[in-house]
Amino acid sequence: MSVRHTWAVREGRTTTTWFDVRWTFADGARVDALAALSGDGVRVEDVHAEPGLSLDDLSVLAEWLESPLFEVCAPARGDHPGGAPRRARPAWPRGREGRRLVAEEYRAAREEGGDPVLAVMRATGHSRRRSLRLIGQARDDGFLTPRRARR
């Protein structure tokens, strides 16, 4: 299962966050869903499945999504000034090992049809600019193919 953050809307103290969720099964079946997480609940807003889901499966889809979504986006708990919870940046190795892991995240996102830069941003906790720099360093180290021919 892959879960990708798509957008968030904040209204007052409430934030609603949307996610693209994709399940790919060994037998070739696939479920794509657009889910919204708000407060303590999950809403399924759009579903595409190959082959189609039964009504029973469709009725429990939100329950299936709830745990993976909360794992992906549950902020670190605690009271912070302004009421905004802070997230700690994930531990990420430095140097060659970190660049190898960046290349793995990049390739995995490309294979799944996702945004590879966004995948690296999520994995490392860095900004887009810093993630692009890490991707470039991974290319320079030979972990990724060159972006364009050098002259």
Q: Where are the domains of the chain?
A: 2-75, 86-151
Q: Which residues of 34-48 are buried (b: 16+ CB within 10 A; e: fewer)?
A: ebbbeeeebebeebe
How does residue 144 score in pLDDT terms, banded at 50, 70 and 90? very high
Angle at 1 between CA 124 and CA 101, to 5 degrees: 30
More confident residue, 139 or 74: 139
Residue 146 CB neighbours (<10 A): 9
How does residue 143 score in pLDDT terms, banded at 50, 70 and 90? very high
Contacts of 50 (CB under 8 A, 6+ apart): 28, 29, 30
Q: Which residue has the tokens 């720099």?
A: 133
Give the pLDDT mean for 10-27: 82
Q: How far is CA 124 from CA 46, 71, 119, in A?
A: 29, 16, 9
More confident residue, 65 or 97: 97
SS3 85: coil
Q: For position 52, what pLDDT does the model report?
A: 85
Q: Supply the pTM of this predicted model.
A: 0.43
